[in-house]
Structures are given as structure tokens and as C-alpha cells.
Structure 1
Amino acid sequence: MRFARYGNPGAERPAMLDGEGRLRDLSGVVPDLAGEVLGQLPQVNPDALPLVEGSPRLGPPVGGTGKFIGIGLNFSDHAAEAGMEPPPEPIVFMKATSSICGPNDTVSLPRGSEKSDWEVELGIVIGRRAKYVNEADALGHVAGYTIVNDVSERHFQTERKGQWTKGKSCDTFGPIGPWLVTPDEVGDPQALAMALDLNGERMQSGSTSAMIFGVAHLVSYLSQMMTLHPGDVIATGTPPGVGMGMKPPRFLRPGDVMELEIEGLGRQRQEVAMDD
């Protein structure tokens, strides 16, 4: 099943998609796609739900996210592009939850931005509390999957000293969505094609099969260090083709348009602007 949230920022309503891809309002069944609801998503016939008229804004498909966790250099081909050895353990960083926005919202470059970059990533949405889980049981804690654009200001991230978080957490630097797709519909999360276009030109093309640390390993690994709660989102790394890896490097500018797609998870589209 495919779930979504629609409406104005901060006032999104839960929905699911019917067989024709139309939004059906789910607010009469659950208050939101958040918290404990994610551990037992409603099993309802979408055709029995009210049809959402028009083309409302889509918000992030999960609410109440307490942790937005990023994994760095998790694709073997991206590590090679960056000229770095594959890490022996997952590289973990945090993105501020205030960076989260809808899949088609405008991405605003912060003041002083010189090197903002794009990253299409598979997002894991946690559905059940996970603490010290083993890898064999890890997927049972996953509510579903989504697309994340891990927008990154490389100057902030790597040249201003300190941790990566400062280049990952700017407002609007975490578009999530459009859908939360349940594991049964996704199938093997390690066999999904991924792509990102900038102004209609293909920049990134890859597959989750190139992930160094797969979904089950990441959920298990992180649960040894922090309890994962329903609604937490893990961005699992990106394939090659990011701007900083180009010769010469290429970075986002106002007026650019990013379009992202992961097999079975839908599409995102963001226009780029300068922050006020």
C-alpha cells in the first residue's frame, strides 16, 4: 500500500492512494501517519474512503519524526567518486528535523551558500520501536520506504570545520516523499533503481544494490547505539553523480529544478530559490 499526507505545512492530513493513484482521505480512520499508527498501518480498501479533490500540496508522508538520521558514503560507486575508501562501519550523521519538507516544496539555499548539492536516497521509516535488534529481525521494525533528497551545503559541511550536520540541516534540505510505501509492495529494498535529474539532465543513476550497508544492517546497527522510534527516518546514502564529484564541480543555483525517482516509490520535484 502507498500512504501520503496532504495539506498545508503543519496541518497535513493522512491519505492513501487507490489503484488509479488518486488520494483518498484517511483521517476518518487514523489521526495521522505518525507514532504507533506506523507499527500497524490501516488495512482498508481505499475505494471506500473519500476522494481528495483537486491537486493539494503533498507533505512528508510521515509525521512526528523525532530523528532524521543520515548515512554517509554508503554506496561503493559514490565512495569511489569521492576518492575515498569504503568505510568499515556506517558513517552516521544527523539532519535537523526542521529541515524536513514536502517532496515538491521549494528548496531554499541559505544565506552564504556557495556549494549546495543534491543526493537522491532511499529513506527508511521506522514503524516499531527498535533497541538492540539483530539483523535477522530488523526489517520487522520498518513501516515502509520513501524518497529522501539529502540536500547538502558542501562548504558548510566540510570547509567550516566540525561535523557534517551543519551542512545537512538547513531549512528545506530534507524533502521526503511523496509516499510511504509498505515493505510488501516494495519487495527487495536492495534492488531499486534510483535517479536524479537537474534541469532535465540526468545527474545520478544507480541502484540500492550498490549499498555497502543494507537496510537490515543499518536498522540493527543504529539500534545498538540509540533507540529507534516510530516515525524516525533514515536516509541511506546516495549513488554517484553528485555535484561535488563533477569536474569542475557543479552546485545548485536559484531557478534550478531537481527531479528524483526511486523505483516503486514515486517522484519528487523541487525548484531551487534563495532563502529570504
Structure 2
Amino acid sequence: MSYPRFLSFSTSTGRQGFGLLVEGGIVDLSVRYAGQYPTLREVIADGALATLAERHAGDKADMALTEVSFEIPIPAPEKLICVGVNFPDRNEEYKDGQAAPANPSLFIRFPRSFTGHDQPLIRPPESPQLDYEGEIVVVIGKGGRRIAEKDALDHIAALTLCNEGTIRDWVRHAKFNVTQGKNFDRTGSIGPWLVPFVDESQIADIKLETRVNGEVRQSDRTSRMIFSFRKIINYISTFTTLVPGDVIVCGTPTGAGARFDPPIWLKPGDVVEVEADGLGILRNTIADEA
């Protein structure tokens, strides 16, 4: 089944916008709804993704994809929460003899640490240890607190992909946190677009794969996740109120570069692709910070 695809973009003049992908390019919804929806975040808060998709699916494209640069779909989420160690083989990678934990490990990323589809991930001068992590993202549509697992999927507005790039040695600069290594500017990416969430079949058992220069490095299925999408939303909403536009990055399979012997870090010129059934391909090159 084919689903509508919404994207956020910038033009060569610096204008920020959002639109609907159609044959031949993009329907510029940010112009049509300039007084109502500043970004896709407000579209989601209004529950209007399906309405706009239906209303404009037959429109002629206003611009070609080659005329814009992809931005992260939600430009300024209130919260961007990531789940760590959420596939069985990832837990085993730690070789600590411990069973999978009862609750998900969580950490926060800042929007500035991400870039869009087809943009370079930036390797900082402080470390060469830039690594990849392909993940599925859920975007909250209906806010709530202490959301029951049985109701959790009703709170998802859309899905997208993430390369949750990490500076590995910087996640071990302190005893208990990973914040530093997860938040270097533009070391990760989100996109390429938002796919409206329709039902559980979109995420229940789909393949998630990461490739580096065409070589498959990570591959698993969402049905094997330690913590389900329902559990993740339930758990996070216990301690914080989720609001429309919040972004939850749901965990990566085994196979990151740090787990090779010796480790294989990303370097300028590499191309990383994250792909999941029905969500498309998130592609990024690697470049050194200027």
C-alpha cells in the first residue's frame, strides 16, 4: 500500500516550507496554508495530515525535488526522545551477562543534532568515531499523560526514519550519561518525509536495514523489538506529557560500526542509507566539519 508523504524543505533563498510529495515534485502546502500552519508540527497538532493529503493529492507540483533541500520533518519538536538497546542482539553486544532490562533506556537529543535527507552528516574535529544507527521514528499526534498501552497507537500521527549518528568515545566521557556523544551538531539525520500513521500493520513486523556504501550493516524486524511501540509510548508518557510533534526514536538493530573488530567508523565520502518497509530510504553522505 502506498501512503502520502509530507516533507519539510528549504529553498536556495533560505525560505523554510513544507509540502506533499506528488508525481513530478512537491505541492507547496506552506504557501497555501501560510496563515494557518507555520510547519508540519501545527498540521499534526490539528490532526490535518489526512485532510491535506486527500485535498491536494491531485494537485500539480509547484517545484521539483531538485529545487529544495530536505530538512528534518518536524523542525522544532518540544521533545526528541531516543530509546537505547531495543533489539535482542543489541543487548547481547554489551557482553555483561545481563538479561534485557524491564524498562527502556532513554536519552534526549536536540533538534540541532540532526540534519535532513541527502544532507551530509558532520564528523567533528574532536573525534573520528562517528557511527551510524538506523531507527524507526514515531511522531506523536495526540498528546497525553500516562497513556495506556492499549491506547498508545492512537497517539501516533506519522512515521519516519532516523540515522541516530553517535560520536562513540564521547558517550563514555562520564559515568552514567550518553548526552555528549549523541548531540554533536548534525551528526544524525531524520527523514526523508513523514508517512501518516494509519494502523498497526505499518510497524508491527517491518524490515529495518542500514547500509554503508551499499553493504548491509544492520538488518532486523520490528516484531523483534524488546519494547514495542505501545510500551515505549506508555512508559515515556508516565513521566512526561507527550504533545503533538514530539519525536520518539525507537532503537537500532545490531551491527553498528563500533561492534566490528577493529571498529569501522564513518569517514568523508561514505554513503549511509536507512530503509524500512513502507517508509522509504533516508540517505546521507559524510563530511568533515568545515
- TM-score bracket, shorter-length normalisation: over 0.9
Match of 1:48 among 59, 81, 95: 59
- Counterpart residue number, 2:279: 265
Shift of 1:8: 4.3
Residues 1:124 and 1:54: Cα distance change in structure 2 (over 3 Å): closer
Q: Output the amino acid matched with 1:34.
A: R
1:34 equivalent in structure 2 = 41
User: What is the root-mean-square deviation of aligned Cα atoms in Å?
Assistant: 2.0
Secondary structure of the residue aligned to 1:271 is strand
CA distance in 2, matches of 1:202, 1:176: 19
2:16 is aligned with 1:12: yes
- Whether contact under 8 Å (1:82, 1:245) holds in the other structure is no
Any gaps of 5 or more consecutive residues in structure 2? Answer: none
Match of 1:145? 159
**Residues 207, 21 of structure 1: alpha-carbon distance in 2 compared, 3 angstrom cutoff:** farther
Change (3 A) 1:186 1:171: farther
Residues 47 and 36 of structure 1, relative CA distance in 2, 3 Å threshold: closer
What amino acid does structure 2 have at the position aligned with 1:179? W
Cα deviations across residues 196-246 of structure 1 (Å, max 9, x unaligned)? Answer: 111221111111111111111111110011111111111110011101111
Q: Partner amino acid for 2:273?
A: E
Displacement, 1:50?
4.4
Measured at CA, do residues 271 and 187 of structure 1 come closer, stay the same or move farther in structure 2, by a change above 3 Å? same
Decide whether aligned partners of structure 1 residues 216 and 54 sit closer, same or farther in structure 2, where only a CA change above 3 A counts: closer
1:190–1:211 Cα contact (<8 Å) kept: no
Normalising to structure 1: TM-score of the pair? Answer: 0.92
Of the structure 1 ranges 73-82 and 173-182, higher mean CA displacement relative to structure 2 is found in: 73-82
Equivalent in the alignment of 1:97: 111
Q: 1:2 aligns with which of 2, 5, 10?
A: 5
Q: Normalising by the residue count of structure 2, what TM-score does the alignment of the two structures yield?
A: 0.88
What is the DSSP-based 3-state SS (H/G/I as helix, E as strand, rest coil) of the residue aligned with 2:239? coil
Contact 1:190 1:209 survives alignment (8 Å): yes
86, 89, 95: which one aligns with 1:83: 95
- Which residue in 2 is equivalent to 1:24? 27
The answer to whether 1:215 aligns with 2:229 is yes
User: Aligned in 2, Cα 1:139/1:161: closer, same or farther, shift over 3 Å?
Assistant: same
Q: Is the 8 A contact 1:199 1:257 kept in 2?
A: yes
How many residues of Structure 1 are paired with residues of Structure 2 in the alignment? 275
Q: 1:118: how far off?
A: 0.4
Partner of 1:154: 168
Aligned to 2:85: 73
Q: How does 1:154-193 map to 2 (within 5 A)?
A: 154-184=168-198, 187-193=201-207
Shift of 1:34: 1.0
Which sections of structure 1, spanning at least 5 residues, go unmatched? none
SS in 2 for 1:5: strand
